[in-house]
Amino acid sequence: MKKRIMIITSVVALALVCALLFAACAPAADPDTAKKNLKDDGYSATVYDGDSLIVGGALSLFGINNVNKVLIGSKYADDSFEFLTVLYFDSSKDANEAVDKVKEYAKDKEKQEEKGQKKDEGSVEWVFGKSGKMIWFGTKAAVKAAR
C-alpha cells in the first residue's frame, strides 16, 4: 500500500513540475501585462485589437479567425534583432484550430529572418508555442522578456 502511495505521489509531483516548467516558457496570458514587461526590458511593444480592419483583415487572409488581441514587440540591441508576436484568441478551441496555420507562417518568417543575417552574425534562436488561448512565435529572448 505504501509503495502505491509513493508511486502516485511521485507521478503527481512530476506532472506539477512539468506543468510549471511549460507555463514558465510562455509570455504573460494578459496582453497588457506582456506589453508592460516588454517595454520594461527596452522593447517597442504594441497591442492591437483582433477585430480592427488592418489586423483582422491580415489575419483572415491567412485563415486565422477569432483573434481577440495581437501583441507585437521588437528590439534591436547588440547587433541582434529580437521579435515577438503573440495572438490572443477568443477561446482555446479557436487557438487549436489556428495553430497549424500560425506555425506555417512562423516558419516562413524564421526563414526570411535567417536569409537576412550575415554569415558571421550567428543564428537567432526562434521559438513557437501555444498555451491555452494564445499562440506565440519569435526569438527566445523576446518571449522571456514578455513573461
Over residues 23-63, the pLDDT tens digits come to: 446 788 899 999 999 999 999 999 999 888 888 888 888 88
The pTM of the full predicted model, rounded to 2 decimals, is: 0.77
Give the integer Cα–Cα distance in Å for 56 and 63.
Answer: 10
* Domains of the chain: total: 1
Q: Give pLDDT tens digits for 94-139.
A: 999 999 999 888 887 777 766 665 444 555 688 999 999 999 999 9
- For residue 96, the model assigns a pLDDT of 94
Please name the residue ranges forming H helices in 47-123. Answer: 53-61, 92-116
Give the integer Cα–Cα distance in Å for 83 and 76: 9
- 10 pLDDT more than 50: yes
State the Cα–Cα distance between residues 12 and 16, nearest whole angstrom.
6
Return phi, psi of residue 38, to 5°. Answer: -65, -45
Range of the domain at 86: 2-145
Q: What is the pLDDT of residue 6?
A: 59
Checking if the pLDDT of 2 tops 80, the result is no
At residue 119, what is the residue type?
K
- In the block, residue with C-alpha cell 534583432: 81
Which single residue is written with the C-alpha cell 490572443?
88
Q: Which position has the higher pLDDT, 30 or 19?
A: 30
